[in-house]
Amino acid sequence: MNNLIHVAVTILFMATANGIQSKSLVYTNEYPDEFARVDEDTKIVFPRDHGDHPKFRTEWWYITANVEDSKGNPFGIQWTLFRSALSPEVSNDGWESNQMWMGHSAVTTSTFHFFSEKFARGGVGQAGVNISPFKAWIDDWSFAGDWKDGSLKASGDFFSYDLTLSSKKPIVLHGRNGVSQKSFEGTKSYYYSQPFFKIKGSVEINGKTHEVSGNAWADREWSSQIISDSQIGWNWLGLHLDDESKIMIFEVKGDDTGSFFSGTRIYPDGGSKALKAKDFTLRPINSSDLGNKNVQLHWEIIVPSEKIAITISPINPKAYMETSIPYWEGPVILQGSHSGTGYLEITM
């Protein structure tokens, strides 16, 4: 695709995700507040809410996976589908649709990191989400199934993967009944996860095929304003501990104000507990291995109440998503009180 349009569209996504409204966007000048708002009284219902919510400005279906091949070599897999609404009106079908879609996929090993990016307009069958049967797709990438058993497929220039997922454990709602606050100003999103997926299948890199298996984490989030005007990006971690428990932690960074911390502690039976800023510390660790973009890739997490004290380090520090708006996303390993794997995302 035309690089310039690349940039244009992604700015669009990031802009809407960050709630930035450009004055020259003709339509939003007139209706700045007409996108749907996150409402704590609205309950999240499945399978309906696996689908898209066109009246909300931003949405995604985000899957990361930590797998190993038969020799124990670690792989990280990412599959993401973003949706952005260009205007708050009801979306038309066909090319007049006001929905835009973007897909990111990646495969990371200790030596390789390959990624791919796709764009599509909504309403024309190129990308979208079906509720029943469930399928989220863009071109021939797809995440399909019923959230208990499913498939995950994507490909890029040098890689492709064809995996199956399954989970017997329930879905985890973050925050309060799925409403997750992101800033001191009160911006929020609907946010739920399925961190218990067991994933397996084949991954092909550079012409070589590997049979892999491991854990996968699916995130679902939608909102019309996720972070506030004073915030500039976030760090996110989704971790699989070796005792089958999980933990999700994020830090939304402000430019003047401090960071907003939040997280969720998830137990092997599927139960969960919200973590507030006072419940844990997330601290970068000094390391000489900063990559070339001064991105903090080594962290320490301490959750006293859960007796967790772990350090995070990336499997491959070069896991930059050199997409139109770049960010760092890659598999990490945990050491300390617990061992395990997980994914780290840093927006810059």
Partner 1 sequence: MRLTVLTIFALLSQWRKSPFQLVLMVLSLSIASALWSGVSIINKQARVSYDKAGSLFERSKVPLIVSSEKNYFSDSLFGELRTAGILVSPLISGSLRIATRNYEVLGVDLVSQKSNYLGFLSNSNRFLEFIQPPYKIIVNDLTRKNLFQHSLFPEIEINNSLADDTIIMDISAAQNLLNKKGLISRLELYSPEYDVNQSFLTKNSLTILSSDSGEDFEKLTRSFHLNLSAFGFLSFVVGIFIFYSAINLAFEQKRKIVHLLSVIGISKSIITVSIFTELLLIGSIGGILGSLLGYFLALLLLPDVSGTLRGVFGVPMKSSIVLPWSLWLINFIIVICGVLAASLSYQIKIHKAALISRNTHNVSVASSQKSARLLSYIGILILLVGFIFFYFFSQSLELAFSFLGCFLIGFTLLLPMVLLNTITFLSFFTRSITAKWFFSETKTQSHLLNIALMAIVLAFSINIGVSGMVNSFKDTFTSWLDQRLAAEIYLRVPSQKYSTNVLEFSEANGGEVLPIYGTNLRVHDYPSTIYAFKPHATYRKHWPLMQCLKSCWDDIEANNGWLINEQLARKLNVEIGENLVINLPVGNLEKKVSAIYSDYGNPKMQLMVPIDFFIENYPQLKPTTYAVRVNKKKINSFISAAKMQFPFDGSWITDQNSVKIASLEIFDKTFSITNSLSILTLIIAGLAVFSTLVTIGEARRSQLAPAWAMGITKLNLACQEFLRSLILAIVSIMFAIPLGVAISFILTKYVNVSAFGWELPISIHLNDWVKLSSITISILTISILAPLLRNNIKTTQSFLRTFNNE
Applying CB under 8 A, the residues found at the interface with partner 1 are: 1-5, 7-9, 11-12, 15, 22, 24-27, 86-87, 94-96, 98, 100, 119-121, 124-126, 137, 139-140, 142, 155
Pick between residue 95 and residue 294 the one whose CB is nearest to partner 1.
Answer: 95
Pick between residue 101 and residue 191 the one whose CB is nearest to partner 1.
Answer: 101
Pick between residue 80 and residue 316 the one whose CB is nearest to partner 1.
Answer: 80
Pick between residue 41 and residue 157 the one whose CB is nearest to partner 1.
Answer: 157
Q: What is the DSSP letter of 47?
A: T
Pick between residue 4 and residue 90 the one whose CB is nearest to partner 1.
Answer: 4
Q: Which two structure tokens, joined as six digits, stand for 38?
A: 């996150």
| Cα 174 from Cα 188, distance rounded (Å) | 11
Torsion of CA 62, 276, 186, 173, to 10 degrees: 40
Q: Which two structure tokens, joined as six digits, stand for 6?
A: 């690349």
Q: Is the peptide bond before 195 cis (omega within 30 degrees of 0)?
A: no
| Minimum distance, C-beta of residue 5 to partner 1, in the bound complex (Å) | 5
Q: How many C-beta neighbours within 10 Å does residue 348 have?
A: 12
| Minimum distance, C-beta of residue 346 to partner 1, in the bound complex (Å) | 24
How many Å separate Cα 103 from the centre of its chain?
11
- Give CA separation, 249 vs 13, 117, 175, 254, 282, in Å: 23, 26, 12, 16, 8
| Minimum distance, C-beta of residue 228 to partner 1, in the bound complex (Å) | 21
Pick between residue 235 and residue 324 the one whose CB is nearest to partner 1.
Answer: 324
Exposed, middle or buried: residue 244 (CB in 10 Å: 0-12, 13-18, 19+)?
middle
Pick between residue 95 and residue 289 the one whose CB is nearest to partner 1.
Answer: 95
Pick between residue 11 and residue 44 the one whose CB is nearest to partner 1.
Answer: 11
Q: Which of 260, 38, 172, 258 is nearest to 249 (CA)?
A: 260
Q: Which amino acid is at 183?
A: S
**Those residues with Cβ within 8 angstroms of residue 51's Cβ, 6 or more apart along the chain or in another chain:** 129, 130, 131, 134
| Minimum distance, C-beta of residue 95 to partner 1, in the bound complex (Å) | 3
| Minimum distance, C-beta of residue 8 to partner 1, in the bound complex (Å) | 4
Q: Which of 66, 125, 128, 133 is nearest to 103 (CA)?
A: 128
On whether the CB atoms of residues 34 and 57 are closer than 8 A, the answer is no
| Minimum distance, C-beta of residue 98 to partner 1, in the bound complex (Å) | 7
| Cα 3 from Cα 137, distance rounded (Å) | 22
| Minimum distance, C-beta of residue 108 to partner 1, in the bound complex (Å) | 23
| Minimum distance, C-beta of residue 78 to partner 1, in the bound complex (Å) | 19
Residues β-bridged to residue 282: 301
